[in-house]
Amino acid sequence: MTARTSAKRSPVDEYIAAAPKHARTAIALVRRTIRTALPDAQETISYKMPAYRVHGRIAVYFAAWSEHYALYPGNADLVARFRTALAPYEIAKGTIRFGYHRPVPTKLISSIARFRMQQIGKAMRLVPTRNTVSRRLASRTRPPTRPRRRR
């Protein structure tokens, strides 16, 4: 490999290349599936795992392990929404584990990624913007203004 080739590799490419040989095909497919489901997401490494950032927030992570690959975060709403589809997989503390012995469930992973994007969108609409908060606080802390008397 030349210096020119290595300069073009992204951190996620490096992550996949460093993964166990038996995991590379599966996690490359997981990556492709997430990138297709979230085309505007920023691909990054966070907590030493590939992650996809939407509107400044991480929508989904994935990681390769020796016996399985996993998706994070599998929050309670997500698990409830996909309960039947996730039944064959192990779920624990926000982790959804997929074994290498099964085909990669691309439709499920795509649906999970899009659901996470919707969750982030809803959360952003519920969180007031900085200007809104500043205006509310300012209106409470300022004393009422009275017109000045002319002398």
Say if residue 18 is exposed, middle or buried (CB neighbours under 10 Å; 0-12, 13-18, 19+): exposed
- The reported pTM is 0.76
Answer whether the bond into residue 143 is a cis peptide, omega within 30°: no
* Cα gap 61→52, rounded to integer Å: 6
The CATH fold of domain 7-128: Aspartate Aminotransferase, domain 1 (3.90.1150)
Q: What are phi and psi of 65, to 5 degrees?
A: -125, 175
What would the pLDDT profile of 55-99 be if each residue is shown by its tens digit? Answer: 889 999 999 999 999 999 878 899 999 999 999 999 998 899 999
Domain-wise residue ranges, the chain: 7-128
42 forms beta bridges with 53
What would the pLDDT profile of 96-134 be if each residue is shown by its tens digit? Answer: 999 999 999 999 999 999 999 999 888 777 666 555 555
Q: Contact 34/48 with Cβ under 8 angstroms?
A: no
